[in-house]
Amino acid sequence: MSQTQSTIKAALWMGGSITSFLTMTVAGRAIMPELHVFQVMEMRSVIGWFLLLPLVIASGGFAVMRTRRPALHVGRNVVHYAGQFAWLQALTMIPLAQLMSIEFTSPIWGALLAAFFLGERLTVRKAAAIAFGLVGVIIIVRPGATAVDPGHLIILAGAVCFGASVVMVKSLTRTDSVVAIIFWMMVVQTLIGLVPAIAVWRTPTPEMWPWILLVSFTGMSSHFCMARALWHAEAMVVMPMDFLRLPLSALIGVLLYSEQIDVYTAVGATLILAGNLFNLRRNVRAVEAAAP
């Protein structure tokens, strides 16, 4: 009975995480035509830092946020900032189903990069997952058959950045807590984006502020809900639930933006998700700190 209750609680928390992420996607699309990506990212980091404060205090305060590896935090957040920039930039350039499909290759890139930089063994299972992901991307993008949309290349670069970010977060979790990692993400990315944001700054209209607050809040709540879900159940139970983001994003694209889902996107997405499921691992402490 307790296991069933834990699974139900995990599913409810993952429902919160998925809802948060989908809300952030819709809010991001509402903001992007009006504000520059640099400004959106800066506002998200600053507001997100204040939203994180209750968790910081609950974890022991600022003293617990100290780190012995500041250089790795800076490097990780430079890469993660680039990935977030690519994700937001591509958000209004290609259909949501394609965006999410290609974004879901990030765990596959992470597995490949971990083999090179962390010395993890590149098993047959991991190699097969990488192959599934690559074939899925090729089917969606179809280079040579049609003109490659720049949005495809941008989000593919973003997925590689997210994969690299996961590798660095996996290393950071050996010494730092998840709250500390997110704390330094907000601090470092605020500093990285300050000058670019000032250069393109436009005063948001009153109509924009609800969307800005939604992006900032859901960016935090998606991480927190996923972490709570992983506390209630194993990763093998929780992580496949996250794949619901793909069909739900496609449905939002159809209902809100009149986007069409072609057979190539459907087949490519299926292969990418199959590769992820095939390579699903139990240790996903890095996941909640490396999402867009």
Distance CA 255, CA 31 (A): 19
Q: Which two tokens stand for residue 161?
A: 């950045």
**Among residues 281, 268, 289, which one has the least CA distance to residue 103?**
268
How many other C-beta atoms can be found within 10 angstroms of the C-beta atom of residue 245?
A: 20
Q: Is 234 helix (H, G, I), strand (E, B) or coil?
A: coil
Question: Does residue 283 surpass a pLDDT of 50?
Answer: no
In which band, very low, low, confident or very high, does the pLDDT at 10 lie, cut at 50, 70 and 90? confident
In order, the DSSP letters of 91-151 are: HTTS-HHHHHHHHTTHHHHHHHHHHHHS-----HHHHHHHHHHHHHHHHHH-BTTBPPPHH
Query: Does pTM surpass 0.95?
Result: no
Q: Which two tokens stand for residue 32?
A: 């992007």
**Among residues 34, 83, 44, which one has the least CA distance to residue 190?**
44
Contacts of 35 (CB under 8 A, 6+ apart): 202, 204, 208
User: Rg of the Cα trace of the chain?
Assistant: 18
Query: Hey, what's the torsion of the CAs at 110, 113, 115, 119, to 10 degrees?
Result: -110
Per-residue pLDDT tens for 86-140?
999 999 999 999 999 999 888 788 878 877 776 777 778 778 888 888 899 989 9
Q: Which two tokens stand for residue 192?
A: 């990285």
Q: Which two tokens stand for residue 118?
A: 């962390």
What are 146's strand-pairing partners?
A: 143
Query: Across residues 279-284, what is the average pLDDT?
Result: 52
Per-residue pLDDT tens for 188-225?
999 999 999 999 999 999 999 999 999 999 988 887 78
Per-residue pLDDT tens for 34-82?
999 999 999 999 998 999 899 899 999 999 999 999 999 999 999 999 9
